[in-house]
Each structure stands twice: as structure tokens, then as C-alpha cells.
Amino acid sequence: MNALLKLVEHGQSYWIDNLTRRMITSGELECRVRREGLRGVTSNPQIFQKAITGTKDYDEQIENLVGGGRPCPDVREIYEALVTTDIRNACDILRPVYDDTSGLDGYVSLEVSPHLAHYTEASIEQARHLFRLVDRPNLFIKIPGTLAGLPAIEELLFEGINVNITLLFSVERYEAVAEAYLRALERRREAGLPLDEVASVASFFLSRIDVLTDELLRHRITPEVTRRPEPDPKTMLGKSAIANAKLAYQSFKRIIESDRWKALEDKGARVQRMLWASTSTKNPAYSDVMYVEPLIGPNTVNTMPEKTIDAFADHGAVRDTIEEGLDEANAVMNGLAKLGIDFGLVTAQLENEGVQKFIEPYDALMASLADKCQKYSNRRSVDLLQKVARELRRDVVTMTTEAGSGHPTSSLSCADIVAALFFHEMRWDPTDPSARDVDTFVLSKGHAAPILWAALHQSGACHESLTSLRKLGSTFEGHPTPTNPWVKVATGSLGQGLAAANGIALANRLDGIPGRVYCLLGDGECSEGSVWEAAQFASLNKLSGLVAIVDVNGLGQTGPTPYGHRTEVFARRFQSFGWSTIEIDGHDIEALLDALYRARKGGPTAIIAKTEKGRGVSFLEGVHGWHGKALDREAMEKALRELGETGVHMTVEPRRLGQIRRSESEPVPPLKPGYRPGEKVATRKGFGIALEKLGESMPDLVVLDGDVSNSTYTEFFARRYPKRFFQSYIAEQNLVGTALGLAVSGKVPVAATFACFLSRAYDFIRMAGHSRPPHLVLCGSHAGVSIGEDGPSQMGLEDLAMFRALAGSTVLYPCDAVSAERLTELAVKTPGIVYLRTTRPSTPVIYSEAEDFPIGGSKVLRSGGNDRFTVVAAGITVHDALAAHDSLKQRGISVRVIDAYSVKPLDVATLEQAARETQGIVVVEDHWRDGGLGDAVAAALNSTVPVHRLAVSKEPRSGTMEQLLERHGISRRAIEEAILAFG
């Protein structure tokens, strides 16, 4: 006779520790029940995780549960539906066993969520729910035997719900579980409820105990100790679990032999049998039936995986063994204590690990179900989104033909991407362009603006006529600008969108907004180094909500792009920067939706979409020569016929991410500089000190630096507010672009580097001007030849010209630490783009703490009734101008000295007064002659008085500050000589 069939003769039932749909549908389970004496089934989250994720057996049911294109049900509902279907069917297969044994056997076990192991009431509620849902008398609900599980076990058993108590490792916890069973039965008796309608088993775990105790025993086996410990740990390997189980069974016997139990048994109560669980052998050196043969006896169950079942059927020995070796069992447990192994700590660790070992597969299963649920939900949306994409293509062709210009083919290639984003994936509100609690879209390939305008129009976000494209007064401009309220940052100068997206994602993180930021790039623009600066930053800062989508259409303006349709090139590049990547067919809507769903799981993620330029129109698709060209009307009609009518108009329902909790901004108290007159402090240091002070009262202040924080002194802010400081490293384009993204997201960003390096980012600065940010402060340190020995590569000499050229910009240039702090304070409060120029050398403090520095103002530092000339200076040259004043005064020549700290806007009134009252103006500046302060003053005075400019006009060299100021004619002596020459 099969050894398995003999077990029942010795009072033991064998159950199987596995359940899959295939076991049910193939007849395997029923065969085991009828022919092999199987009398029960146990399951757990790990078993279902393998069954559901490892096969396609559940896919049809999942697809049916998703249904009709509506949002997915909660994955827990899907999980319950799947497992309760299997459990119910298994219960029906085992029902004859249940009936034949009068409820002794024939049970199937279903576990509550492992996340509830330490929650009593939640365990009770879910157990009730599952018991009602399965609706079979031969169902066991599995509850972990944790301290929180004990009252749940008692209450459920009292209510008549059968309970399999799992994760028992110690005799003490088993006895507590047995006590809960007794109390439940006594409560039922007192309530007049039948006792023979409730059943329970106590699942005592085995192999996991040996895995841990063997590890601890091996720690005590070493050749480095000459005297062997007593007992010898080698002799105890692989014995702890069986010893523990045998002692637990002795407790079980004492309970069922007690008068208390007999009184309940007389009323029909069923024995709470001992169930041996975790019976697969983990150590291959041990017998594969070591957790079966020694534990055979009355009132026991052994639940085994298939491998153990097959092994025992093949060579297992059956006899009553449960009460053999009790002295050895006690010796083993005593030996562990002698060796310093606290078995109480062992079992506590195993209980915690046991819960976690069920949580991990349970969570993995939930994630897998969410994936499958989304997959089928996506599938139902494909047809509609394909039609939406066709409508967008029709709009693109029509509007560009009407405009007579534009980039239709570049828009057609990404129509499917935009349709999937705006009409399915993105959570946004088409009624509120200013919303922050939404996902954000940045069109980095700005020449594809028509597809953006088409999506906004189709979704109901914009009601402006598409035929107004590129017309004066329309917000549908040739490339996106914030003239249209849905555009956060101006794009079109390629390679800039991803850096701005970085800033938006950072702002989301700082404000706790779980929004995603989608940035659509072209493959051609990925030749821009700025893209990879931004990619590096996103990865280093773990911007998990950032998704870059590269439209790899293979064609540029003049011919094929460098890598054509080789999406793997772009994937490898993004991967090298630490991004997750997904390569897809960018015209396969289902693949797009799947990729967008996968991108939700953390990133940053780059979706590399292979597309065709001009997609949807046969004579445009993949054809070179159409970049930036609109179709004539005849070609348009032909294209529209090919695209066909869809009759689709898909509105977008608002989807938001919840309320943003932001406290009202408190008034920023005035700074207190606290310097001594004459104290030498660099303006760059005053700037850094001011930022640190402002950080306390301005929670939206964010500082970025280009790997020079110990020179710009932004390190002061970084040390105190590390969560609001971001290191951009030597990547100035990303530095400015990220700051812009922060600025348009409600932050007050200050980005600092050397003034000369900002020239590298000038196109970003130029485009930031077109983006019109509420607040964006850029600080250029180490300006001018005054930096000294580092030489011309480090000298910012064109920065004033750069920033003066921006419409609406403000340019500030402090000369001492007090003015540096005050102007920094003003800069963060001033609307628009503000440039703050600081210098390397320390300069003496000339202003008092109470001095005020209004934007557009200046300071007349020296003046008299008989001033012959006016010297206008700013920054480092103010001090030489003052020194020249003192020297000239000794010669009887009076000059007026003005600190033009506000380079833009200038204090024109003060300058005009000086022009009226003195014979001429001398402007001295540490900047190239063209475009700086001198040009600004000359333009403001409009030839009403001679304006003489002292500025850098020849190639700088290395040298000391004093040598260089002298060499370039902007020193004290040069000012004196100029005044004397003019006089």
C-alpha cells in the first residue's frame, strides 16, 4: 500500500501545501483526493503568487473582471475574486471527504492578508468577509498566531468560522492558541451554540526552525577552539525542529486529557489537531522525509508540497513515532540553552520573518495583478485612442496648411504618443492650466507645437480656433510659449525641455505632489549636450516621477538623424546615466500605454519610441524634404482623405492628485547684515550669508550651484537647508534650465556659478526670458579681470551685456557685503529674471546696516557744489572711484561718485542730474567696453553730456588684481588720469 494511504491508519491526515487553477481544471486535485488519499489543502500568498504570475491560467478571468474600458477595480478585489474561485472549487472537490469524515478532514485553507498579522480587528473583518465570500463549510481561514492574532482567533472561532492558526514556532505560543480555542468553545457553550460546527488546526512550522538554529550552531563549530563545548553543536544539527514539535505534541496531549477539554468534548467539540507545516527539507544533506516520519501519530495533520509527497510515497516509513525520543527532544532543547542559543529569541525572529516572507510574495502578486489589470484595461482603450490620434493628425494637417507654415511631419510622428498621454495616461484638469496637483507635459521638441495645440483643442482645454496658428494675437504660436497658459516654459530652441522638466519634478517633490512630468523630445535634439546634462541630473537626484519620451522618427531638417531608427543607441545612453528605459513602436497604442504604465513604477524612465516622420499620410511618411513645410490645399485634401473621418470627439474628465497643503507665506523680515565699517568681505560671501538667512523665512527658496559652492558661498545654504539645495555640477545649461522649471512651479530659485560660465548657458537664459518666470535669480561670481591670476578663461567680462539684453530683466551689482546682502534680499523678491554680479576679492564695507537699496536706484557716495565730473562705477570699481575722488580732492578737483548698483534699471534721474550739474560722466567698469554699464549710461543720457568709458578693451592676462586693473585702465590711477585729461 502507498505510504500516504497508511498514514490515516495512524491517526494522521496528509494535506497538500499547494493550490493552482491548473490542479483544479486538469483533474489533478480530484485524482489525488480519490486515488491517493489526499484529505486537505493549504495555501498561502506565496503559493498564489507563483500560480497567478507564473501562468496564463488566470488571464481570462482577470480580463473579464476588468471589463468595459473603465478604470481597474482595486487589485485586492481582483485577488479575492481569483483566489476565492480556486478555493471554492477546491472545497467542492474535497467536500466528499468532509462529509465522509463528519467534518474531520476535507478542508481548504485561505489566508488573510499578511499585512494584517499585527491587527486584530482588521483580521477579524477580513476573515468574516472571506468566509462569506467562499461560502463553504469546509473552509479554513488562516490567521497568524501572533499576539494580535490570538484575540482574532478566539472571536472567529466563537462566531463559527473555522480557523487554521499559522506561523507557530514555539510551544508557549501553541499553548496560547490552544487556550484561545478552548475559550471560544466555552463561550459558544455558554451562548447555547453548537460545538460540533466549528473546527480548527494549529499549524506548527518545522524546517524554518532548523535553518536558523543550524546557522547558530555552526557559529559554535570552529577548529580554533581546542576544548569542545558541551554538548557538541555538530551532534545537534537538524534536530531542533523535530524536538520542538514533539514537546508541543506533549502539551497537546495534556490539554486533551484535561477535564476542561473532556467537558467540551462531551458537548461535541472537535479536537484542534496539530498540523505540521513547512515540511520540505531545506538542507540537501538531510533526508527528504525528515519532517514527516518522526511526527506520525493520532490527531495530527502533515501538509506537504508535491516534492515531499512524492518522496514519502516512494520511500517513506509509516509507524507511530510522535512520542518516541522525548528524552532526546528535551536534551536538544536544553543543549541549545547551554550553548547560549535563546530559543525564545529564535522563535520570535522566525515569527517576524515568517510574516515578511508572506508579505513579499503578496505584494509582488498585487503588483503583478495591477500590471495585468492595466494591460487589459489598456487594450479596451486602444481603438478609441487610435481614432483620437487620427483626429489630431487631421488637425495638424489642416492648421499648418491654413497657416502656410509649420512642422506638420514632426507633429504627425508623435500623434499617437500625445493621444496616449493627454487622453489616457495623464492626470490633469483641462479647466485649470495653473493647477499644480496634476501631471505635467513639456514639449521639448517645440517645433511640433501643432500637435500640442491640437491635443489641447480636442480635449476642451483651449477653445481658440486652430486656424489661428502662427497668426498675430493667437496663443497658438509657431513654437510653444507661455502666451498660451498651458505652456510652462518656452521651447523650440532644442535640448531645453528636459532640464525644465527636472525643475518641475523637483518642485513636485519639495511640495509633496505625486505628479509625473512627461517630456517629449526628438531624436535629433538628443545631439544636444544639454539633454545629457539633464539626464545626469535627473538620475543623480532620483527623479522617479520624470518620464522622457524620445520620438525617434529618424529624420532631421536636412536628412537622416545620426542614428536613424536605432532606438538601442538612445536606450544605452539613458541607461548609462542610470535611467530605466523602454523601447517600443511609437505607433502601437497598446505598447505605448503599457510603457507609460511601467514608467509609473519609478525612474527616471526614458521611453524610446520608434516612429515615422509624417505618419498617417502615405506621401509624407518617412519621406525626406518635408521638414518645416506645410501642405498646399490639394495635398491637404489628399492627406485628409487618407486619414479619414473618425467622428470622434473625446473630452477629458478632470483628474487631480488631491489638495496641496501649502502654508501662507509669512512676510520676510529685513536682513541684519552686521558688518563693521571698513571690514573686508567679498560680495560673493555676503551673497551666501544672505541666502542662508533668507532660507529660514522663505520656505520656497531653492538654491542650485554649478560645483563651485565653496566659491559662491552657496555652501552656507546647502549645509543648513540640504533638502532645498541641488548640486548641478559642471553643467550650466541644466543649472539654468532646472532653475527655470522650479521658477514656473512656485519656487524662488537662485542658481549660482562663475559669471563666465553662464555664457555657456546663454541660450537657456534667453529662452528663460521668453518663459517669463515669476522669480528666477542667477548669480555670476568671480566677475571681471579683478579675479586676478586665474586668467581670461575664468573672467566674466560679457555677463552684464548678456543680461541687459533680456527684456524685463533686472541686473544688480553690489560693491560691498552690506549691499550684497541687501541686493540678494531684493533679488529674491523681484519679479522676473534677476542677475546678481559678485566679485572674488574682498572689499571694504562702506555702507551702514540701515542703508536701503531700491531697485532702479543708485548711491551718490561723494558730491559737492563744485563737482566738475561724475564718476559712475559699480561693484569692484566703486572702491577705486572713491580712492580717485580722495586723490583728486587733494589736487583741488572735486568729482561726484555714484555707485550704480542697479545696472538695469538704471537710476536715470540721478544720472541726468549729474549730467546737468557736472561737465561730463566717466563710467568705470570691470567688463568689456561693449554692452556693459558704460553703454547703459550712455544710452540713458542720450548724448546730453560727454560719457567717457573706462572698461576692459584688450585681451586680459594673468596677474594680480592691482596689476590687471591698472593694465586695463580701470584703476584709481587710470580714473585720475582720465579726469585730468578731460579737465
Kindly report the pTM of this predicted structure: 0.87
Phi, psi (deg, nearest 5) at residue 75: -60, -25
The residue type at 12: Q
Please tell me which residue in 142, 375, 685, 693 is annotated as part of the active site.
142
Cell of 157: 472561532
Look up 142 and say whether it is catalytic: yes
Just give the CATH number of 680-844: 3.40.50.970
Comma-separated ranges of CATH 3.20.20.70 domains in the chain:
3-360
Specify the pLDDT at position 262.
97
Angle among Cα 359, 361, 366 to the nearest 5 degrees reads 90
Dihedral sign (CA 502, 504, 506, 512): negative
Cell of 733: 545649461
Q: Domain 859-982: state its class.
A: alpha beta
d(CA 382, CA 342): 60
Q: Which of 859, 944, 956 is nearest to 898 (CA)?
A: 859
Cell of 342: 535563546
d(CA 704, CA 694): 15
d(CA 521, CA 540): 20
810: which DSSP letter? E
Specify the pLDDT at position 372.
87
d(CA 556, CA 624): 8
d(CA 9, CA 184): 30
d(CA 753, CA 94): 75
Residues 652-655: contacts with CB within 8 Å, 24+ apart? 652/422, 652/423, 652/428, 652/430, 652/459, 652/460, 652/461, 654/428, 654/429, 654/430, 654/431, 654/432, 655/426, 655/427, 655/428, 655/429, 655/438
Cell of 629: 513645410
* Contact between 297 and 324 (Cβ < 8 Å): no
Specify the pLDDT at position 816.
98
Phi, psi (deg, nearest 5) at residue 871: -105, 120
Q: Convert the pLDDT of each residue in 588-629 to its tens digit.
A: 999 999 999 999 988 899 999 999 999 999 999 999 999 999
Comma-separated ranges of CATH 3.40.50.970 domains in the chain:
380-643, 680-844
d(CA 511, CA 505): 10
Residues 6+ apart with CB under 8 A from 621: 612, 613, 614, 615
Instruction: Report residues of the chain scoring pLDDT below 70.
Output: 1, 68-72, 661-665, 983
d(CA 623, CA 410): 12
For the CA atoms of 429, 430, 436, 439, the dihedral, rounded to the nearest 10 degrees, stands at 70
Domain 3-360 has CATH 3.20.20.70: yes
Burial class (CB in 10 A: 0-12, 13-18, 19+), 262: exposed
Domain 380-643 has CATH 3.40.50.300: no
d(CA 881, CA 100): 109
134 sits in which H/E element: helix 120-134
Q: Which of 829, 834, 825, 857 is nearest to 670 (CA)?
A: 825
